[in-house]
Amino acid sequence: MLVKICGIKTIDAAMTVQEAGADFIGFVFAPSNRRISPIDAANITRQLSPKIKKVGVFVNESVENMKHITKLVGLDYVQLHGDEPAHVATQLPYPIIKAFSIHTVDPKTIHHYPCDYLLIDSPGEKYRGGSGKVFNWKTIEELQIDKRKLILAGGLNEANVQQAIESVRPIGVDISSGVETDGVKDHQKIQSFLKRTKKEITQKG
């Protein structure tokens, strides 16, 4: 099970994510309470192992700027979390994670979008991206997504991730607010979530 911890803003949180065994670490470069500057993100990624994949989250950003930030920060993946059409993804010479809101996703679009992973999230509220609330996981089955590409997001936490994995059977899970306390990354919650997620999959496997 792949695990992505998103919305990282400090080196302390990043090191906790890395040491806890996450596969992906996400930096938000779009309007958000978790937004980080490319310079600050670059200062963090320089201290991380190449084993953990660095993901940049963008919303309707220009291709040129995404390329610039990706190179500056040393990103491994670009996550498109806005209304980016397929031709935007084809112009980016990097692995792509394309995020879709469960309430607005078009099945035709999702099956032909050029990306390495499809991230299904709950609808955003103030900002683009998820609301941190759980949606009805059964609706994912209607999309007939290749589970080998599916990353599940939206309201996940230590208490419900096992149920989510058993219900949806994604290749990975993505979490941000579920490992926070009062809007700040909580190191104990990060460690507990990774331990629970990796433990459950090991037992099931």
Q: Does 182 qualify as catalytic in the annotation? A: no
What DSSP state is assigned to residue 201? H
Query: Which position among 6, 83, 106, 182 bears the catalytic label?
Result: 6
193 Cβ contact partners less than 8 Å away, ≥ 6 residues apart:
3, 5, 20, 157, 158, 161, 175, 178, 179
Q: For tokens 């059964």, what's the residue?
A: 138
Could you tell me which residues are beta bridge partners of residue 98?
80, 118
Phi, psi of 79 (to 5 degrees): -105, 120
Query: Which position among 12, 23, 83, 121 bears the catalytic label?
Result: 121
- Phi-psi bin for 185: left (phi > 0), alpha (psi -120 to 50), beta? beta
Q: Does 6 qualify as catalytic in the annotation? A: yes
Catalytic residues: 6, 121
